[in-house]
Amino acid sequence: MEDLLTIILAGGVGSRLHPLTEERAKPAVPFGGKYRIIDFTLANCLHSGMRKVLVLTQYRSHSLQKHLRDGWSIFNPELGEYITTVPPQMRKGGEWYAGTADAIYQNLFLLRRSEASNVLVLSGDHIYRMDYAAMLDFHRQQNAAVTIACMKVSREEAGSFGIMNVGDDMNITAFEEKPAQPQGIPGDPDHCLASMGIYIFSMDLLEHALMEDHRDADSAHDFGHDILPKLIGSQRICAYRFGRQTGRVTPDNYWRDVGTIDSYYEANMDLLKPVPSLNLYQDDWPIRTYQSQPPPARTVPGASGSEGVFINSIVAGGTIIAGGSVQHSILFPRVHVGDEAVVRESILFEGVEVGDNARLGNCIVDKHVRIPAGETIGLDRDRDAARFTISPKGVVVVPKGYRFEDSDQK
């Protein structure tokens, strides 16, 4: 893809995922027992043949940059291939990125230097698999100035997306970001066509649009709010339906914005379904990541004689279940579950230790938390609310490195 530059936007604050984003950017949040969220976008780039990738970072970027260095230093710069992290350069003044469009505007010098004729703009915080090469082929076949990937959503969900109207030739005739009264699809009024935040621009048009937007003092400098609505009618802007049969990846039509605790938790739990909507076990599109080399996971009897067991769970390397029970849960590397402890419908990040006889349910425990023997989490809402964050749907989140005091156990 010599004529294509890929830009991944990975600098958002991720405030709705707090406290998981208290010390890391949202794309760096662990997912699925071994991955980081950004791995799914990067794996799509890898398998789609995208070899020139800029990752624009900003807030709390150390963990993300370390992950990219350790796990994604796989391209050969001598062949013009790269995955490069780009923190704010302040080349246009002393301001941080003011929006998705402004993030790219502040790095226009890198776009010009690339000599690419098209730009693929992606978000680094969605869970999905997609062959971008097929979308690029569609973009060229349609002779489009902009192509936007879209999917069908219910009208109830539509207020959270950019919604478009599309003609018979897939030309977009209207675009509105997060409308209060979304317009349904003709012939299917209960559903709308929603933008996935995946765009292909011609380089010249993108540069012109960003410069015009920068001069607009009233702009929020956002693609959905500002850039795209202004281009409708003046350029050929096409919609590309997600989940098409074209491309190398087996279509699964799974896409999730994991921007809240509840959506993040549900996307993880989706992986535990007997036939998951996102099948990580397909050989034609593996998700790459960085991982250390822990020993295999194992179960052993506890001191009480109880056998360690896990049922319908994902259990990563280095984990030991010593007489405890893990059910419908996801355990990252090097988790230890003590004797007669019970973990149900929970996500335990790397290095979590669950003490003997502890009870955990419907919770997310961030890295390196030691849960004392006999502790309960997710079973007493009032007690949990005094100590931890609880999502609207009742998921309890224990922050990274939380230290239990004597008062916690009363």
Residue ranges per structural domain of the chain: 4-270, 298-409
- The separation between CA 200 and the C-alpha centre of its own chain, rounded to angstroms, equals 19
- Measured CA to CA, the distance from residue 256 to residue 125 in angstroms comes to 9
Q: Tokens 């624009």: give the residue.
A: 56
Q: What is the mean pLDDT of the chain?
A: 92
pLDDT at residue number 92: 64
pLDDT at residue number 207: 95
Q: 367: which DSSP letter? A: T
- Measured CA to CA, the distance from residue 41 to residue 124 in angstroms comes to 6
Q: 193: which DSSP letter? A: E
Length in residues, the chain: 410
Which amino acid type is present at position 146?
V
- Measured CA to CA, the distance from residue 162 to residue 205 in angstroms comes to 20
Pick out the chain residues at pLDDT < 70. Answer: 1-2, 91-94, 251, 406-410
pLDDT at residue number 186: 87
pLDDT at residue number 168: 81
The CATH H-level (homologous superfamily) assignment of domain 298-409 is Hexapeptide repeat proteins (2.160.10.10)
pLDDT at residue number 140: 95
pLDDT at residue number 6: 97
CATH topology of 4-270 equal to that of 298-409? no
Contact 20, 397 (CB under 8 A): yes
- The pTM of the full predicted model, rounded to 2 decimals, is 0.94
Containing 43, the helix (H) or strand (E) segment is helix 38-48
Architecture of domain 4-270: Alpha-Beta Complex (3.90)
Neighbours of 403 (CB within 10 A): 7
Task: Return the SS3 of 9.
Answer: strand
Contact 285, 312 (CB under 8 A): no
